[in-house]
A and B are shown apart, each in its own frame.
Chain A
């Protein structure tokens, strides 16, 4: 019962370094998401993918890129990390209803804590 798996769980980067957060789900969900969680800010949507082959920007996409590699995997890349990107990152997936609407019940990974020095 893996659900949504994120790697790595912890990472420390220096300013300017790049890295990719990996996410995979085994529930055959169409929609996948990347959120960041910061104190007092709640969860903010970075990017999402409503279906394989599509990606769209969320509230805070600047400084990030994503790839929906296949239906299972959705990666988040920081090309040049900045201290403002220090956060906890959550990947999530959701089942799509018939007609393309989303059930909205997100299944979350355990989170990845990223620190940029």
Chain B
């Protein structure tokens, strides 16, 4: 069975701090995709990144970076120099067998 665990239920930091959101997954598939989604207070779900299981290179997009480690089944998300607009619930997700399974989400609050 596929499972995604986001152990951090809530994180609160002060603006400009760096913050890392953890994601650990379980799957028996050899080919799978990992994702991060953002849900701001307005409620919509925003796609952030998709990573193929064969590509373990870290990825950076502006202040966002992702660290994929197959050896530890983790796909962590780091926000550098956080901003108030980063406040949201962030979901990690795993795709296999044509369906997407989400973690419980991490509520991130960035305080001014």
Contact = CB atoms under 8 A, between A and B. Distances in A.
Interface residues of A, number: 30
A111 B33 CA distance: 24
A18 B91 CA distance: 31
* A interface SS class: strand
B35 A104 contact: yes
Interface residues of B, number: 22
Interface in A32-75: 33, 35, 40-45, 48, 50, 56, 58-59
A90 B98 contact: no
Contact of B100 (A56, A106, A110): A106
A33 B100 contact: yes
A20 interface: no
Nearest to A50: B98
Contacts of A45: 99-102
* B interface SS class: strand
A94 to B, nearest CB: 8
A44 B98 contact: no
B45 A100 contact: no
Interface string A86-114: 00101010101000111111111011000
Contacts of B98: 31, 48, 50, 96, 100-102
B99 A41 contact: no
A45 to B, nearest CB: 6
15 contacts: A35-B102, A42-B102, A43-B45, A43-B91, A45-B99, A59-B101, A92-B45, A96-B98, A100-B98, A101-B98, A102-B95, A104-B100, A105-B35, A105-B50, A108-B45
Interface of B: 6, 9, 31, 33, 35, 37, 43-45, 47, 50, 91, 93, 95, 98-105
Q: 7 smallest A-B Cβ distances: which pairs?
A: A104-B95, A42-B104, A43-B102, A108-B45, A104-B33, A50-B98, A42-B105
Interface of A: 31, 33, 35, 40-45, 48, 50, 56, 58-59, 88, 90, 92, 94, 96, 100-108, 110-111
